[in-house]
Amino acid sequence: MSESRRPPHEAPELTAATRRLLLGYQRDEETDQVIYRRLARGEKNEANRRILERLANDEKEHAALWARYTDRRAGPRRLKVLWYSLLGALFGYTFVLKLLERGEYVTGRAYRALVAEVPETQTLIDDEQNHEDRLAELLDEERLKYVGSMVLGLNDALVELSGTLAGLTLALADTRLVALAGIITGVSATLSMAASNFLAERADGRRDALKSSLYTGAAYLVTVVALVAPYLLFPRPLYLPALGAMLAVVVLIIFIFNYYLSVAKSLPLARRFWEMAGLSLSVAVISFGIGLLAKKILGVDL
């Protein structure tokens, strides 16, 4: 039996700290195994499913290797499994795989510090590198093909509707009236944006023009619902707190969407976030001022 494959009782004596560290790695490998298997069960593409199952089997072997040194069983981290399953349902498997890939990179660096004490660690380092190569093969998720359409719908809704709601807040001074106007404006704009996107894509000769327009419309409509919600939740006289909540939702949506893009497509987060946030909030502030000015000039007092 080679030295790198000898059982625990023949392995070098490990310190208590190292044994605890290996036990944590063992749990991490078990956790990743469960996540990969869940992703595989939900994947319709047969080639992708086989790759995910191979990844799960690799993680199982890694956990078994650490178990030889720790001489203990270690179950998966259930909360992490549930969290990643939720992320997969919301953002797709590409997002989850990219997050796991980041974890593989950090784990690979940590493993290198153990090679001298645990020689078999080098095998795991090689496997982790293979994981990154296999993960790259999986990045062919449909929703990523329509990110441009989603950005179009999301950005237009954030800029146009946040500005409209901010202006109406001062003009109408009533959360229910603002919500009513926002719903009418938002639904109309959703249909208009989807139709315009469909015609533009058709003019460019794209066969998937309908699907592209649906992604644009869906992103717009979801944004409309999120921005109007504060005006439905706050009492009628509290239109200024509703405005503040709406602007907070704008910033939150921009952060979530840009974080998704930064992970799924390896794009910079900070610059894109501040660009979108600055544009949307600037329009909202200008519209708020226009609403205040229009109400004063026209002498409207609702």
Which residue is listed with tokens 């919600």?
Answer: 229
Sign of CA dihedral 155, 158, 159, 164: positive
Express each pLDDT in 112-161 by its tens digit.
667 667 777 777 777 666 666 666 666 566 666 677 677 777 877 888 88
Q: Which of 24-28, 125-129, 226-230, 298-302 has the highest mean pLDDT?
A: 226-230
Which residue is listed with tokens 């996107």?
Answer: 197
- The residues, any chain, with a CB within 8 Å of residue 249's CB and separated by 6 or more, are 226, 227, 229, 230
| Contact predicate 28/66, CB 8 Å | no
| Contact predicate 77/27, CB 8 Å | yes
- For residue 64, is pLDDT > 70? yes
3-state secondary structure of 234: coil
Q: Give the pLDDT mean for 163-184.
A: 88
- The residues, any chain, with a CB within 8 Å of residue 183's CB and separated by 6 or more, are 224, 228
Express each pLDDT in 14-34 by its tens digit.
677 778 888 888 898 899 899
Phi, psi at 276, each rounded to 5°: -65, -45
